[in-house]
């Protein structure tokens, strides 16, 4: 590594919910620096979650992130002229990022509703252990399980 490591930035918690995870998720939603739009979208999604599920939206959000976050992933490594998919454990920061990304991508992929509604539905489904984001996690785990034989190449 030629450069010094980038410093870890602290993120201010979300003003409405007081959670840094919600603030990070809002930042992942944000496009072209439009944070107020992303916050409006998040707060709209949380309002819909509370309305539909009759539970605390923050609990549903945490449960969804927990259900979607992968524990293993595969990384490609070249060994002796062949590329192997090697299973690696996922760090907690990356687990949160991947869960957020998969939830947002799954909500984007749906058609015919406002983004806040699609995101709320995806979060509710993920908290139940259903939906496209949970399927993505299962696919990643299945891939890691299938390539367990190459785990000895990991270092």
**Is 8 domain-assigned?**
no
pLDDT value for 78: 87
Residue 148 confidence class, pLDDT cut points 50, 70, 90: confident
**Is 130 domain-assigned?**
yes
Cβ-contact 42, 22 below 8 angstroms: yes
Cβ-contact 42, 29 below 8 angstroms: yes
**Is 2 domain-assigned?**
no
- Structural domain boundaries enclosing 130: 20-153
Give how many domains the chain has, as a whole number: 1
pLDDT per residue over 68-104, tens digit each? Answer: 999 999 988 888 888 888 889 999 999 999 999 999 9
pLDDT value for 84: 84
Please report, for the domain that includes residue 29, its CATH number: 1.10.455.10
**Is 146 domain-assigned?**
yes
| DSSP 8-state symbol, 74 | E
Encoded tokens for 137 = 């996690």
pTM above 0.85, yes or no: yes
pLDDT per residue over 3-60, tens digit each? Answer: 999 998 999 999 999 999 999 999 999 999 999 999 999 999 999 999 998 899 999 9
């Amino acid at each position: 590594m030629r450069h010094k490591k980038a410093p870890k930035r602290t993120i201010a918690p979300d003003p409405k919910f007081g959670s840094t995870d919600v603030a990070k998720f809002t930042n992942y939603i944000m496009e072209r620096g439009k944070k107020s739009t992303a916050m409006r979208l998040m707060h709209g999604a949380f309002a819909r979650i509370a309305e539909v599920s009759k539970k605390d939206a923050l609990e549903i959000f945490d449960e969804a992130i927990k259900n979607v976050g992968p524990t293993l992933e595969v990384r490609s490594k070249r060994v002796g002229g062949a590329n192997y998919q090697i299973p690696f454990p996922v760090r907690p920061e990356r687990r949160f990022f991947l869960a957020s990304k998969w939830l947002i991508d799954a909500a984007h992929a749906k058609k015919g509703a406002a983004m806040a509604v699609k995101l709320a539905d995806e979060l509710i489904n993920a908290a139940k252990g259903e939906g496209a984001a949970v399927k993505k996690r299962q696919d990643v785990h299945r891939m890691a399980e299938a390539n367990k034989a190459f785990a000895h190449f990991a270092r």
